[in-house]
């Protein structure tokens, strides 16, 4: 049986048996084989830096420069991890990274939820203008504000204070967080809010007990995105923080870089320690990330 598609004077004939050839199980297995081969190659490329860093962290300076990058150390220096935790003050830097990141993420996601709820679910005169002002923040290069922020924090006595880092992270992560939340909030059915209002629910109770639980998937996505940025950020911490008791992991690595001697194994161990929390969090919440990103694309 043939299907004829006519376009002016050109006739294109498509034979159904030919289509059946590509639907044959052999062709499907071949296509899946090629797909999985490509995915495996991409996974190897992604894992390669982690394997290299693990081997790097278990070597001394001689092995780092005199052996192949992927060669397993002849005598693994597990003491590098003990050294950075005990002598390098990494424990303090690690705890600083944890609590600063958590506080900044919670404040950012909560404020972004307030803003998104007000813009998408409430009727007021300047909501489009407010949204536009927040979106302008996406166009500002982050580090172009380094000198103005330094001058501002110096005047208000927030230099060498973790609050300066938390405020900076919150301000620069708000626009992208709001943008991600917007798509999801627009899909929320208004009938739920109307039913809650009919039952005498206040606006504040409706937000905290109804809207926030419904937006948990996309909130998890934005939290992870914020956490990755905050955890890996270096420039602001290096500029605004000078005391060791407030430094984070990204800045603490510099302790092992000296004028005459650099302990490369200790640097590798510090980097490995700094990667593990983000890696574990991503593996545990990977399904939440995909669910949060795709949920706003489906009109429900």
CATH, residue 228: 1.10.3720.10
Residue 62 lies in a domain: no
Phi, psi of 2 (to 5 degrees): -120, 145
3 state SS of 248: coil
Let me know whether 284 and 139 are in one domain. Answer: yes
CA 148 from chain center: how many Å? 26
How high is the pLDDT of residue 17? 57
Residue 114 lies in a domain: yes
**Predicted confidence pLDDT, tens digits, the chain (300 residues):** 444 444 444 444 445 555 555 566 777 788 888 989 999 999 889 888 888 888 888 888 888 888 777 788 888 888 888 888 887 778 889 999 999 999 999 999 999 999 999 998 888 888 889 999 998 988 888 888 999 999 999 999 999 999 999 999 999 999 999 999 998 888 888 888 888 888 888 888 888 888 888 888 888 889 988 998 999 898 999 999 988 889 998 888 777 776 556 778 888 888 888 888 888 887 777 666 666 555 555 444
Let me know whether 53 and 132 are in one domain. Answer: no
How high is the pLDDT of residue 300? 45
Residue 21 lies in a domain: yes
Residue 179 lies in a domain: yes
Burial of 171 (0-12, 13-18, 19+ CB in 10 A): middle
Let me know whether 14 and 96 are in one domain. Answer: no
Q: Print the domain residue range for 48.
A: 2-57
**Count of beta carbons in the 10 Å neighbourhood of residue 133:** 11
Let me know whether 48 and 109 are in one domain. Answer: no
How high is the pLDDT of residue 226? 93
Residues present in the chain in total: 300
The answer to whether 165 and 100 have CB atoms below 8 angstroms apart is: yes
Give the pTM: 0.78
Let me know whether 118 and 164 are in one domain. Answer: yes
Let me know whether 129 and 278 are in one domain. Answer: yes
Let me know whether 43 and 87 are in one domain. Answer: no
Let me know whether 38 and 88 are in one domain. Answer: no
Let me know whether 87 and 143 are in one domain. Answer: yes
| Inter-residue long-range contacts of 236-239, CB under 8 Å, 24+ positions, other chains counted | 236/146, 236/149, 236/164, 236/165, 236/168, 236/169, 237/165, 239/146, 239/150
The span from the CA of 282 to the CA of 289, in Å, is: 8
Let me know whether 99 and 211 are in one domain. Answer: yes
How high is the pLDDT of residue 290? 63
How far is the CA of 240 from the CAs of 140, 186, 227, 230, 243, in angstroms? 20, 38, 19, 14, 10
Let me know whether 49 and 195 are in one domain. Answer: no
Q: What is the dihedral of CA 257, 263, 269, 273, to 10 degrees?
A: -20
- The structural domain count of the chain equals 2
Residue 68 lies in a domain: no
Residue 103 lies in a domain: yes
Residue with tokens 């600063």: 100
Let me know whether 39 and 94 are in one domain. Answer: no
Q: For residue 71, give the DSSP letter.
A: P
Residue 71 lies in a domain: no
């Amino acid at each position: 049986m043939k299907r004829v598609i006519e376009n002016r004077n050109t006739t294109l004939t498509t034979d159904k048996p030919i289509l059946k050839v590509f639907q044959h199980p052999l062709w499907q297995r071949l296509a899946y084989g090629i797909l999985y081969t490509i995915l495996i190659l991409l996974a190897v490329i992604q894992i390669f830096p982690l394997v290299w860093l693990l081997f790097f962290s278990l070597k001394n300076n001689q092995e780092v420069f005199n052996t192949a990058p992927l060669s397993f150390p002849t005598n693994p220096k597990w003491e590098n991890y003990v050294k950075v935790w005990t002598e390098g003050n990494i424990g303090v830097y690690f705890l600083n990274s944890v609590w600063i990141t958590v506080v900044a993420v919670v404040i950012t996601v909560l404020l972004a939820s307030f803003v998104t709820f007000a813009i998408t679910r409430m009727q007021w005169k300047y909501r489009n203008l407010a949204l536009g002002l927040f979106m302008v923040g996406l166009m500002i290069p982050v580090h172009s504000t380094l000198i103005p922020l330094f001058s501002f924090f110096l005047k208000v006595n927030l230099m060498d204070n973790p609050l300066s880092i938390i405020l900076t992270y919150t301000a620069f992560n708000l626009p992208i967080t709001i943008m991600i939340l917007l798509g999801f909030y627009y899909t929320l059915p208004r009938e739920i809010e109307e039913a809650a209002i009919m039952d005498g629910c206040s606006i504040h109770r409706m937000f905290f007990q109804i809207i926030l639980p419904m937006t948990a998937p996309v909130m998890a996505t934005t939290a992870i995105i914020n956490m990755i940025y905050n955890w890996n950020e270096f420039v602001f911490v290096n500029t605004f923080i000078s005391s060791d008791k407030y430094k984070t992991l990204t800045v603490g690595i510099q302790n092992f870089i000296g004028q005459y001697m650099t302990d490369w194994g200790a640097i590798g161990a510090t980097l490995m320690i700094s990667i593990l929390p983000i890696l574990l969090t991503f593996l545990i919440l990977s399904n939440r990330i995909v669910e949060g990103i795709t949920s706003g694309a489906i009109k429900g």
